[in-house]
Each structure stands twice: as structure tokens, then as C-alpha cells.
Amino acid sequence: LGANYHLERELTGGGMSRVFVATDLVLGRNVVVKVLPPELAAGVNRDRFRREIQVVAQLQHPHIVPLLSAGEQDDLLWYMMPFIDGESLRTAIERKRQFSPREVTRILHDVVDALAFAHARGVIHRDIKPANVLMQGSHALVTDFGVAKAISAAMPIGGVTSAGMAIGTPAYM
């Protein structure tokens, strides 16, 4: 990442990537860096991955966590997003948080609004699940938007990695 970032800690639950919180030393803010493991990155067409990430980076919407940057270093591919100070919908559900009908309606509205915005631009999430919905105050933000598509599209054969695994979360596929 260079001298402008300092890795702080690793987060759990990254699925097919390792997830780190880093400090952007120039702007004084926290960011999330997702790094594809070398075994997954090895099977990815890097030019196609870059093109797909560029499409996703164009999604500017209040309920979509934006991509800030992407890059590669040796055998690693990475992308960066803002750090959202909140919890995932999955975490809230697991700790048995009770949502009022109004809160459920607001969350669904935010998620559907984000999905409709992306779909109108030809981008499909491909891994929508409670873990990819972050709660920030009373708003829901969809994260990892289209990154599964970027990886899938960059694979040599129909979205299956060289290790034979499909891209996405099987329970939600």
C-alpha cells in the first residue's frame, strides 16, 4: 500500500479474502483493505479484474459502500473501501437484535434501492447476504458490491477458481 497507509489489524469473516483495517496517514481516516489470497489471485486475469473493478468503482450511491482504490503487489490483488463504523446485519441478527417493522422496512428499502441502482447500470452483486449489509446509524449500506462479479468474470472458466470453488456464498446462492 505504500508509505501513506499503516495496517492496524485484521478483521474476521472476509470470506474469500483477508480483510484489514488500515489508517490512511494522509487523510487521517480508517479504510478497509481486502486482499485476495495468492491462490485465488493466481487464477485471475488481472486486466479483466481491473476492468470489472473500474465498473464497480463507478457506483456512487448513498447505500453502496464505494471502492476507493485497487491495486496489485507481487502475487496479491487488493481493493480498498471506507471503514464503516457500525455492525453488519448478520452480527445484529446473531446477537438477537429485535428490529421493529419500521426498521425492517427501512433496511429493505436501503438495500433494494442500492441493488436497483446497480442493476440499472448492469452490475449484479452476486453475494448479497446479511454479512454484506452494514448498519451505520439508521441506514443500511451494501458492501462488496460487484467484487464477486469482478473475480468471477476474471476467472478463466465460467467463474470457477483453479481450486474448483465457485465465487459467492453457497447458502445464499
Q: What is the pLDDT of residues 46-82, one digit of tens each?
A: 777 777 788 888 899 999 999 998 888 887 888 899 9
How far lies 48's CA from each of 32, 35, 55, 160, in Å? 23, 17, 11, 15
Q: Are the C-beta atoms of 169 and 152 separated by less than 8 Å?
A: no
State residue 108's pLDDT score. Answer: 97
Strand partners, 68: none
Residue 101: the pLDDT is 96
Q: Could you tell me which residues come within 8 angstroms of residue 160 by beta carbon, excluding any fewer than 6 positions away?
A: 166, 167
Residue 127 catalytic?
yes
Q: Is the pTM of this model over 0.75?
A: yes
Q: What is the pLDDT of residue 88?
A: 93
In Å, how far are 25, 65, 66, 125, 134 from 146, measured between CA atoms?
Answer: 28, 11, 11, 5, 16
Q: Which of 74, 75, 113, 127 is catalytic?
A: 127
